[in-house]
Structure 1
Amino acid sequence: MKFTVGIAAYNEEKTLPKTIPLMLEHLGKNHLIISACGSDTIRIANELAKKDERIIIIEEHKREGKAAALNKILKAAKTEVIILTDADVIPEKGSFELISEHFKKPNIGYVSGRAIALNNDKSVFTFYANFSYGTMHELRLKCHKLPTGYLFGIRKSSVSPIPDCHSEDALIGTMISSNGYEFVYEPKAVVKVLYPTNWKDFFIQKTRTRLGHLEVKHRMKMNFREFRPRGEILNMLRKYNTKEKLLIAFYMLAESLVWIKAWVKFKTGRKGWERVESSKKI
């Protein structure tokens, strides 16, 4: 089934030359739309487009946010199926096709892929990456309405213009669900992601995500925590040894602090965007 891949790229001039060629290998005859923001990012994106006619560039000379960039991608796409991903991730072979095939069913509006960690050292952050992505994978097998923003497909006609939000993927999913469409989790559609490798970036990334969830909850009257069955999570913990359980306990404490920080930001209106530098070093 034909599809368009869309990427919102802001200050991604260092990652685009590494990730875009890998995406093109799996694109087939389909198109890749890059909404590029930042002078260097626009320059690099145009250089890549000159080498491959499948690449379409949207130049954003004034940053208006990711939601605005995604809306421009939706408008420019000529296909009904649009697969959205990030500029700093690496999709595995066949992932785009696996997602697009689900849209042959007219009731499907959102298909989520699976994120796995690129991190491969023995640091605590690699453990947390595998724990976080692994836990979400197991939960998504039981509840499809827990999408990942790293790789997901949508039916263009199922979503209206996207409002500004810190968690666009969650908001898009909620909007599509409210329009009566169903979700699918496709675990074989894999995207490799570099998890934060220091506490500063950990808190920046997690806080941004949780802030987005609070925004969606407020906007759509929806509580994301109701989709996280505690019993399932407790059962998952049984496979870990004592040392790993202590690390997980510390992770949960950090997550609690993240929620507090996100709540304070939400209540005070301090919602500035911060870059997670360590996740860009692909």
Structure 2
Amino acid sequence: MAYNEEANIGRLLEALLQQRLERVQIVEIVVVTSGCTDRTDQIVASYARRYPQVRHLRQARREGKASAINLALRTIRQEVIVLHSADTIPAPDAIEHLVRPFEDPQVGMTGSRPVPTNDPRRFMGYAAHLEWQLHHRISLHRPKMGEVIAFRNIFRQIPYDSAVDEASIEPLIRGQGLRLVYVPEAIIYNRGPETLSDFLKQRRRIYAGHLYVRDMLGYRVSTMSGRRILPLFLKEILFPSPTPPVPGQPAHRVGRLRHLVWGPLVAALELYGRLLGRWDYTIWRRKPFVWPVAETTKEVVEVGQVGL
């Protein structure tokens, strides 16, 4: 699903075409471009001409990610679907790890481990790493799907006005009595916000989307619980866990003092973003299924030679 992703879409398609696969097969790669005003359509079309696996579906205007997903769902006949954001890059074996659990017929959905490529020595880079480290810690106990997921092809659409597609799919899978599985070995590289404005733009949209899923689908994602997050947050800033290395980048360690100072600041920003999201949803009654783009998350995802 792509909107103005000319910086990354070619890298993503190369990474998918060169995945290391053993027991898994990528039958087709369906790319939905939605109202793009840059060169995304041309890049995808060139790959579709060169590679029979790549199929290009184009929406003339931007209708939101849920609409793009539903368009793809109407055309895909494979038993398992991998839903991949266009602004992320998979590790060379990510798809194999993500799909292999479906050998168990009780597994209905799997989630990847996103790893930011931001520099953790800068405050906004630290914020991106902390958010995804907490996501990882929570998912080890109660899976929370994010960025890149796989699921059984057992429904034809998700709510068209959802801003959080992964969270909307979770209850559809659980409702069929199937399990969610977090796969930390399925590493996906992404780019977190590099400005305060983009951080808040992203966090308020996500929380408003989670409130929508709670009210419309009767489902609470695991990251909505402050009581679940708080002890994991304290553990992370007091005893930080290592993140997987990003190929082509030096490993950076963040000192204890920065954790103790920056960690609470990130928590305060997250809380403020959630308050803004609640305001958007309950007061303004906005349904941000077509949301303002956090531009700094669309910068090139630099991951050395991963998948390229």
TM value normalised by structure 2: 0.83
Residue 269 (structure 1) aligns with: 285
Hey, what does 1:152 align to over in structure 2? Answer: 149
The aligned counterpart of 1:201 is: 198
Whichever residue aligns with residue 279 of structure 2, its letter is: V
Q: For residue 68 of structure 2, what is the aligned residue in structure 1?
A: 69
Alpha-carbon separation, structure 2, partners of 1:29 and 1:138: 29
Residue 71 of structure 1 and its aligned partner are, at CA, apart by 1.2
Among residues 231, 255, 265, which one is paired with 2:270 in the alignment?
Answer: 255
Partner of 2:118: 119
Aligned residue identity for 2:281 = F
The answer for unaligned runs of 5 or more in structure 1 is 1-7
Q: CA RMSD in A?
A: 1.8
Cα 1:51–1:251 change in 2 (3 A) is same
SS at match of 1:115: strand
Matched, 1:162 2:177: no
Q: Which of 216-225 and 249-258 deviates more?
A: 216-225
TM-score normalized by structure 1? 0.90
More deviation in 11-20 or 221-230?
A: 221-230
Higher relative CO (CA 8 A, sep ≥ 6), structure 1 or 2? 2
User: Could you tell me which residue of structure 1 aligns to residue 228 of structure 2?
Assistant: 228
Structure 2: how far apart are the matches of 1:141 and 1:29? 27
Q: Relative to structure 1, is the Cα distance of residues 136 and 51 closer, same or farther in structure 2, using a 3 angstrom cutoff?
A: same
Pair 119,231 (structure 1): closer, same or farther in 2 beyond 3 Å: closer
Q: Which structure features the higher share of helix residues? A: 1
Q: 1:221 deviation in Å?
A: 2.2
Aligned partners of 2:33 and 2:40 also within 8 Å: yes
Distance 1:237 1:13, change over 3 A: closer
The CA deviation string for residues 40-76 of structure 1, in whole angstroms up to 9 with x for no partner, is 4322211121121110011111322211111121222
- Residue 139 of structure 1: aligned partner: 138
> Could you tell me which residue of structure 1 aligns to residue 183 of structure 2?
186
For residues 102 and 15 of structure 1, do their structure 2 counterparts lie closer, same or farther at Cα, with a shift above 3 Å needed? same
1:238 lines up with 2:238 in the alignment: yes
- Structure 1 residues 85, 107: closer, same or farther in 2, change over 3 A? same
* Distance apart, 1:29 and its partner CA: 5.0
The count of aligned residue pairs is: 272
Unaligned runs of at least 5 residues, structure 2: 241-255, 301-308
Relative distance call for 1:63 and 1:229 in structure 2 (3 A) is: closer
Q: If each structure's strand is expressed as a fraction of its own residues, which one has the higher value?
A: 1
